[in-house]
Amino acid sequence: MGQLFSKKNKEVFSAPLGIDNPVTVQVLGICSALAVTAKLEPAIVMGLSVTVITAFSNVVISLLRKTIPNRIRIIVQLVVVAALVTIVSEILKAFAYDVSVQLSVYVGLIITNCILMGRLEAFAMQNGPWESFLDGVGNGLGYAKILVIVAFFRELLGSGTLLGFNILNYEPIQNIGYVNNGLMLMPPMALIIVACIIWYQRARHKELQEESN
């Protein structure tokens, strides 16, 4: 049990949640961060979907890594990911149809998500199933964390709601001058919020700052 949760494995899981976040440090998965964060609910579902797919595709590829011919490894990875994406997509249509409609084509595009393909190639192909599972969960949750933060501010300040519940659209709040900012619902605001998160993270962790020439 101690070996399963060794210091190295804890770091594999925790690093993507902070100092090696796939969105703010590796700058991957930005497209979906723009597309699905106008509301909090689809952002949460998208984040969880990517987490599940990344974790289990990592495990499958790790188990198969010694039997996959090098020249077709990318094809095998895509087949595994496509199968998992199809399963997740069908589950969403069955149990969360409205959210599935909001996510539109972006669930299908998880197949080509840079975070997912990067972890398969860089980690799962070189490590065991348990380590690969932790890496997949960590990177998926790191991605989901940023999506949730961005969606929280965009929905709250853009629509005055959270998860569809009214938070700011009350007369006393509007009487003191509050007005929903429609600009927050536009994709560029997702980039600005992500940029603010990157700025905060790099200000807090000096080792992430590039040295000036």
In a domain, 6, yes or no: no
In this structure, is residue 19 part of a structural domain? yes
CA 52 to chain centre: 11
Quote the radius of gyration of the chain (alpha carbons, Å). 19
Angle between helices 73-95 and 40-64 (to 10 degrees): 140
CB contact set of 202 (below 8 Å; sequence gap of 6+): 208, 209
At 100 the pLDDT is 85
Query: What does pTM read for this prediction?
Result: 0.89
211 in any annotated domain: no
| CA-based end-to-end distance of the chain | 47
pLDDT at 202: 87
Q: In sequence order, what are the residues at sequence separation of 6 or more whose Cβ sits closer than 8 angstroms to the Cβ of residue 55? A: 133, 136, 137, 140
pLDDT value of position 212? 57
- Tell me, yes or no, whether 1 lies in a domain: no
In a domain, 57, yes or no: yes
Domain presence at residue 3: no
Arithmetic mean of pLDDT, 56-62: 95
Task: Give the mean pLDDT of the chain.
Answer: 87
Give the HSE-up count for residue 1: Cα atoms under 13 Å, Cβ half-sphere: 0
Burial class (CB in 10 A: 0-12, 13-18, 19+), 20: middle
Q: What was the pLDDT predicted at 2?
A: 55
Domain extent for 107: 13-206
Q: Please name which of 78, 141, 88 lies closest in space to residue 113, comparing C-alpha atoms.
A: 78
83 domain-assigned: yes
| Contact between residue 92 and residue 100 where contact means Cβ atoms under 8 Å apart | yes
Torsion of CA 69, 124, 145, 88, to 10 degrees: 50
pLDDT beyond 90 at 8: no
Q: How confident is the model at residue 3 (pLDDT cuts 50, 70, 90)?
A: low
- Of residues 3 and 84, the one with the higher pLDDT is 84
Cα separation, 80 vs 172, whole angstroms = 53
Q: When comparing pLDDT for 43 and 6, which is higher? A: 43
Looking at the structure of the chain, the number of domains it has is: 1
Q: Is the pLDDT of residue 57 over 80?
A: yes
